[in-house]
Amino acid sequence: MRTPIKFEKRPAHGWLASVFSTCVAILLALLASSVLLWIVDVDVYGAFHALVLGAFGDLDSIYGTCVKAIPLAFTGLATGIAFRARIWNIGQEGQVFAGAMLGYWLSITVDLPGIVFFPLLIVAGFVGGAALGGLAGVLKTRFSVDEIVSTVMMNYIIVFVLSYLLTSRLWMAPGEYYLQTAQIPEAQRIPILVEGTKLSLAFPLAIAAVLGVHVLLSRTTFGYELRAFGSNPNAARFKGTDPGRMLVTVMLVSGGLAGLGGVSQTFGVDFRISQAFLLGLGSTGIIVGVIAGLRPLGIGVAAILFGGMAQGGLFMQVIADVSSAVVAAMQAIILIFFLCSSVLSRYRVVRSH
């Protein structure tokens, strides 16, 4: 006779339970990835050796991992701060583009010394992403437009705007065959930290953002209101929190953080705007945020993990002959196991009587 079971919320789950569930998730993800590599007839040890070598094998690899982690940290934080408030911002992809585009517009509009231009660039990137996020917040509060629908639609709209600017040759480089802008002048690029690499001042800026969002959520009145709003909007309303103001504010901050991801990638790595260069940073940032349990410090670690996978994935393709599709599938496997571990750390399976 079948015994019915159900999920029951644990009375409390401390950091030990989270650490244990995370370790189990990592081990199971590695095992499942090994099975996948074996199925596609790839040397499992050689593939993982190439992955680790490419991500952390030497200083250059570590620098490359950090470079790829920068935009993921920003888009992961954008996810974390919105999802903690139970506001489903799925527009990180478009907000990355918006931040990069406003930054690029600033670069072709003004001619300022680098020491003056760099702070303005950061502000422009934040404002660009915040404008798109804030618009979705206003649509939700004023016209009851679901934020999932509006943010996903804006992802497409902003990409179409960029396509128009490039195909109409307003932004396209003269004589250029590919749909991309002209190269950004060296004086307007984010200053490099380590000579001979692309590790720029965007890296300490990302660290500051991680720490800043951690303090914002855990040590400030706004953070308390945000977490209360996410846990119980009705109770937060009775305590004096304005739901409309909170929603718009969170969307502004979330969009601004994603916009910083676009600026850091465009002005610190690519030095021009192209759809291909920015595509995927927002969606991967959502994965980073979810895997980290929406915790800012965890998001920083998860960004390094996924930056290492992106950097090491190139080595896997070259050294171990692993296709990019398999690398993407391994990322999906990691996400699935981390989501399962997150659920099992908060709930337990019991028999229903």
Q: Is the pLDDT confidence value at 3 over 60? A: no
The model's pLDDT over 159-213, given as tens digits with 9 standing for 90+, comes to 999 999 999 889 988 877 888 999 999 999 999 999 999 999 999 999 999 999 9
The proportion of the chain whose per-residue pLDDT surpasses 70, expressed as a percent, equals 93
Q: How confident is the model at residue 233 (pLDDT cuts 50, 70, 90)?
A: confident
Beta bridge partners of 8: 348
**200-221 residues labelled b (16+ CB within 10 A) or e (exposed):** bebbebbeebbeebbebbeeee
The model's pLDDT over 44-56, given as tens digits with 9 standing for 90+, comes to 999 999 999 999 9
**What was the pLDDT predicted at 290?**
87
pTM: 0.92
**What was the pLDDT predicted at 1?**
47
- 164 alpha carbon, distance to own chain's centre: 26
**71-88 residues labelled b (16+ CB within 10 A) or e (exposed):** bbbbbbbbbbbbbbbebe
Domains and CATH numbers, the chain: 41-322 (1.10.3470)
Q: Which residues contact 353 (CB under 8 A, 6 or more apart)?
A: none
**What was the pLDDT predicted at 20?**
77
